[in-house]
Each structure stands twice: as C-alpha cells, then as structure tokens.
Amino acid sequence: MSPASKKADVLVEAAREVGATQMQNMGTIGGNIGTASPAGDTIPALYVLNAVIELSSIDSTRLVPIEEFFNGPGKTVLKQNEMITKIIIQPQGENEIGIFQKLGPRKAQSISIVNVAISLIMDQGRQCLGAKVAYGSVAPTIIRARKCEALLSNNCLTEELIQNIAKIAWKEVMPITDVRATATYRRDMASALLERGLYRLMRRWENR
C-alpha cells in the first residue's frame, strides 16, 4: 500500500474514478473542486477527510472548510480575485479506513449517477467508533448522511446494521430526476452503494 493510500485511501480511490487516464494526468483536484459539480468524484472524499480549502488573493489568504465552500451547482464562495492555492486534509489514522463507490452510465469517463465516500474509525473486532458518509449527485451540493453516520458510530458493524443503515440512506438523500437517472433510481442506488461499501470495509478491516 502506498503512503498516500495509508493516509487518504478514500481520496486515492476517488481520484482513480475521475474521467480517463489523460484527464487524471492533466487535471487537478483543485479544478474538480472549483467546478462545483454535485457529481464531482473527489469532493465526497474530501468531505470525509475534513478538507479545508485555502483561498488566496494578492492581498489576503483565508481558509474555508470544504462543506462551506459550495453554494449550489457551479457556485462557490470563491471571490473574483481569489484562487484555490492549497487543499488541507486530515490524514487518516491507523484505525481509520475509507472507500469510494461510484455508479456511472459506463465504466470509463462517466459522470456519476450517484457516488459515495465512507470513512470509518474502527476498534477491535467490528466495533465502529465513528463514521463519515458523503454523497454526490443526490442533492444540489455534496451532502453528509448524518443519520447514517450516527447509526454507525459506537455500534458493531454487523450485517443487520448495514442493511438498516442502507434503508436510512434511501430516505436521507434528496436526488432529482434528470436525463441520466430518475430520483427513485438514484435513491435505490444510494442505498445499494452504501451497503456494498460498508460490506467491503468490514471485510477489509477483518483482513488487516
């Protein structure tokens, strides 16, 4: 496992899903953030890593938590004379694991129909001490699934718990119908991606 994967595995996985190889080689995470698309693949990962965005102008520099950076689709708090100069993340601890899940209309170069980033702080066995879950493409901006996080925190990661949380996710997201998918389909997939991701994290933790 690379050093980056140990400190930000969820972001590494999300970056691998952004467009084609050419885009990954030439594009930047700052560009993904600045576009402010609700479907941006790296943004949910940055949410669960508690990212802070440094915005700089000729006269000043300010720090903005990523959850306060977006005002809506394509809209941010970035001023006309500012640019993104730094992205600060909270590195994952030894007992923290994450995963990024995406559903697109095709395997490569696709805009997400739904995506989700999950980060869990684990204890011995399957005990989850804390959780962060962020969804893309299910609201005007990226959203945190607070009810799902609360149910995961301080609970044992069992199959029953995972299935119950997946049902909560269906109600917690707020998607729209557009040319890529209906709102109902997005809700179903938001639930399925979270369930699948949690099962994978559970197995990954057990196999450490």
Residues 153 and 83 placed together within one structural domain of the fold: no
Strand pairing of 127-136 and 155-156? antiparallel
Is the pLDDT at 24 greater than 80? The verdict is no
| Residue 110 domain boundaries | 96-206
Residues 173 and 195 placed together within one structural domain of the fold: yes
Residues 102 and 201 placed together within one structural domain of the fold: yes
Report pLDDT for 95. 95
Q: SS3 for 177?
A: coil
Residues 83 and 100 placed together within one structural domain of the fold: no
Q: SS3 for 100?
A: strand
| pLDDT band with cut points at 50, 70 and 90 for residue 76 | very high
Q: Is 123 within 8 Å of 149 (Cβ atoms)?
A: no
CA dist 188 and 186 (Å) reads 5
Residues 70 and 132 placed together within one structural domain of the fold: no
CATH code for the domain in which residue 110 is found: 3.30.390.50
Residues 143 and 108 placed together within one structural domain of the fold: yes
pLDDT tens, position by position, 79-133: 999 999 999 998 899 999 999 999 976 555 568 899 999 999 999 889 999 999 9
Phi, psi of 194 (to 5 degrees): -65, -45
Q: Is 18 within 8 Å of 11 (Cβ atoms)?
A: no
| pLDDT band with cut points at 50, 70 and 90 for residue 161 | very high
CA dist 131 and 38 (Å) reads 21
Provide the domain count of the chain: 2
Q: SS3 for 13?
A: helix
17-40 mean pLDDT: 77
Token output for 200: 């994978």
**Alpha helices, H only, the chain:** 3-15, 21-26, 29-35, 42-48, 146-152, 159-172, 183-206
Residues 112 and 153 placed together within one structural domain of the fold: yes
Going by C-beta distance under 8 Å and a sequence separation of 6 or more, which residues neighbour residue 56?
82, 83, 85
Residue with tokens 């915005």: 55
Residues 168 and 75 placed together within one structural domain of the fold: no
Residue with tokens 């991606």: 193
| pLDDT band with cut points at 50, 70 and 90 for residue 208 | confident
Token output for 151: 């149910």
Helix 183-206 to helix 159-172 angle, to the nearest 10 degrees?
150
Q: Which of 67, 88, 109 marks a domain boundary? A: 88
Residues 103 and 186 placed together within one structural domain of the fold: yes
164-182 mean pLDDT: 91
